[in-house]
Amino acid sequence: MKTVFDSEGLLFTPSIPKSDAIPTIFAFPNEYSVGITSLGYQIVWGTLAMRSDIQVSRLFTDIREPLPPYPEILGFSLSWELDYINILNLLESLDIPFHSSKRNENHPLVFGGGSVLTANPEPFAPFFDVILLGDGENLLDNFINAYKEVRHEERSTQLRHLAHIPGIYIPSLYTVSYQSIDGAIQSIQPIAQDIPAKVQKQTYGGNTLSTSTVVTPKAAWENIYMVEVVRSCPEMCRFCLASYLTLPFRTASLTDSLIPAIEKGLQVTDRLGLLGASVTQHPQFEALLDYMAQPQYEQVRLSIASVRTNTVTEKLAKTLAKRDTRSLTIAVESGSERLRKIINKKLTNAEIIQAAVNAKRGGLRGLKFYGMVGIPGEELTDLEATVDMIKAVQKAAPGLRLTLGCSTFVPKAHTPFQWLGVKKESKKRIQWFQKQLKGIDFRPESYNWSVIQAVISRGDRRLAPLLELTREYGATLGSYKRAFKQLKGQLPELAYYVHEDWEIGQTLPWSHLQGPLPEATLIKHKQYAHSYF
């Protein structure tokens, strides 16, 4: 009987596992079509599958490969906060206790990685034995190699050994104390002197970035071959996790990496996705565009992730239009010059308008803006400026289909705005936009989801019981409020995590986890923002 796995076109050669290979499960806590579209998941799975000392099986919420009866390692890639529910569901289906403290020698080591856990793993810390912080290129192999050194030792010995590998965080080896049971964190300390006081996120410094290891018609983006053109973003918008958490900005080599990767992928598919937070800021992007404009690639369907506004040229639009792209997405955040200075968005309204004009001239049919409400320092006049900017774009590029996706500001760990809370008036400001913006496709993100996101993004270990409750109640804001009410007196109230501004100098849930920039630098960047308030 054929399965979805039979439709996969592999772009690597899996190794034949040795007789003593480590039985491993690598899971994605969502459906196959979603997980197999994740480039990060593909890369980790491919890395494991190319090791002869690993026998890896994949697990999704809807399908699975044949699983080993006694796995030694179980890994999860977590890239969306609410997928934690499926992590718990999958652990339950495998008869593995949720909490690491309740597992014994017969249970696998449960590890996790991905952007959510790298940013702030603390709400999920009790569920994992091991958390990998940062880029997986070297970190994953270092983890496996270190595990092999203590493979036949007791679980406690294994964890202590792994704790000494840079980027490997063992939550159970750190004690968190609180000023009061429902108050702020007092301190986070390792349980022994030989355990590192801080765990440093690992950063890959090479110029060969990630590319797809598999192409399949069953992916959410059917038959797409993905190429990572850049990693991080040089703009450093002060709210942006995708920039601050992944610094420094790195680019793939055009001749040594990008072109060979593209040629390899286009041998198996005609759909190409260029990925990165700011693809068009690759220093050789024009040359890459010229390469893709060659006649032999006329049948290729090309898509590009969000691009910087002032790089939307008529040439770019023409190339994309010829390659079956109908619209572009640019992040403008706001039409207010003052707000853009607060967040360090180096952009003018004139550049936004010109991008729209270039998009239309180049043959694109639509332009999608990413906007935001609740930005620190925001006033109603700033929202009015956004409406005025949209109207100016409509006038300058009539007939171009405009979309405005609008989110609520949510504080993220390791950014200058991590100390600031979600503004309660954001919900009404989204509604205000809805009334003011006529003639465009307005797509607001749920304010309720933003509140849940803030709970998790600024959460600490006391949230673990709450997350288990919301799994039972359903992942809605009402469920979270119900869980907070049920656990009243055992943790701070919801407003503490979501709406309150935290004090500079207080111990944060992730204070023992070192991101790319020291806290002193983040404070300076926050002070720069306040100078425009």
CATH classification of the domain holding 61: 3.40.50.2300
Provide CB contacts within 8 A for 2, sequence distance 6+.
none
Q: What is the pLDDT of residue 121?
A: 98
366-373 and 224-228: which strand pairing?
unpaired
User: Domain span at residue 402?
Assistant: 223-458
Cβ neighbours of 470 (radius 10 Å): 25
Helix (H) or strand (E) holding 455: helix 447-457
For 276-348, strand residue ranges (E) read: 301-304, 327-333
Same-domain pairing of 342 and 299: yes
Specify whether 255 is located in the same domain as 395.
yes
**pLDDT the model gives residue 518:** 97
Residues, the chain, total? 533
Provide the 3-class DSSP secondary structure of residue 155. helix
Domain boundary, last residue among 425, 458, 491: 458
179 and 54, same domain (yes or no): yes
Looking at the domain assignment, is residue 486 inside a domain? no
Residue 67 sits in the same domain as residue 14: yes
pTM value is 0.96
**What DSSP assignment string belongs to 248-269?**
SPEE--IIIIIHHHHHHHTTT-
Provide the domain count of the chain: 2
- Pairwise CA distance, residues 175 & 189, whole Å: 5
Same domain, 25 and 152: yes
For residues 182 and 229, state if they share a domain. Answer: no
259 and 111 in a common domain: no
Distance of alpha carbon 274 from alpha carbon 296, whole angstroms: 18
CA–CA gap between residue 274 and residue 297 (Å, rounded): 15
Same domain, 269 and 162: no
Please report whether residue 399 resides in a domain.
yes
Examine the domain organization and report whether 158 and 290 are in the same domain.
no
**Is 234 in the same domain as 186?**
no
Cα separation, 124 vs 183, in Å, equals 19
Query: Within this chain, do residues 162 and 307 fall inside the same structural domain, yes or no?
Result: no
* pLDDT for the residue numbered 475: 83
Beta bridge partners of 109: 73
Residue 339 lies in a domain: yes
> Consecutive 10-residue runs of the chain (533 residues): their mean pLDDT?
88 97 98 97 98 98 97 97 96 98 98 97 98 97 98 98 98 98 97 98 94 97 97 96 96 96 96 95 95 92 90 94 92 97 97 98 96 97 97 96 97 98 97 91 96 97 97 92 96 98 97 97 98 93
The alpha-carbon radius of gyration of the chain (Å, integer) is: 24
User: Do residues 8 and 214 touch, judged by C-beta distance below 8 A?
Assistant: yes
Residue 405 β-bridge partners:
370, 443
The rounded distance, in Å, linking the Cα atoms of 96 and 105 is 12
Kindly report the backbone phi and psi dihedral angles of residue 345, in degrees, each rounded to the nearest multiple of 5, phi listed first.
Answer: -90, 105
- Give the CATH number, domain containing residue 414: 3.20.20.70
Q: What is the pLDDT of residue 462?
A: 98
> Is residue 65 in a domain?
yes
Q: Are residues 259 and 169 in the same domain?
A: no
64-68 contacts: CB < 8 A, separation 24 or more?
65/5, 67/25, 67/94, 68/23, 68/24, 68/25
Cis peptide preceding 248, ω within 30 of 0: yes
Handedness of CA 61, 63, 68, 69 (dihedral sign): positive
Q: Among residues 458, 489, 507, which one ends one of the domains?
A: 458
Task: Evaluate whether residue 213 is within a structural domain.
Answer: no
Query: Does residue 380 lie within any of the structural domains?
Result: yes
475 domain-assigned: no
Domain boundary residue, one of 458, 485, 518: 458
What's the rounded Cα separation, in Å, for the pair 491 and 511?
19
Task: Give 492-500 contacts, CB < 8 A, sequence gap 24+.
Answer: 492/182, 492/183, 492/184, 492/462, 493/182, 494/451, 494/455, 497/454, 497/455, 497/458, 497/459, 497/463, 498/421, 498/422, 498/451, 498/454, 498/455, 498/458, 499/421, 499/422, 499/423, 499/424, 500/421
Contacts of 82 (CB under 8 A, 6+ apart): 452, 475
Which residue has tokens 């996705």? 273
Query: Which whole-number Å values give the CA distances from 307 to 40, 44, 185, 298, in the listed order?
Result: 20, 26, 39, 22
- Cβ pair 30, 76 in contact under 8 A: no
User: For residue 179, is it within any domain?
Assistant: yes
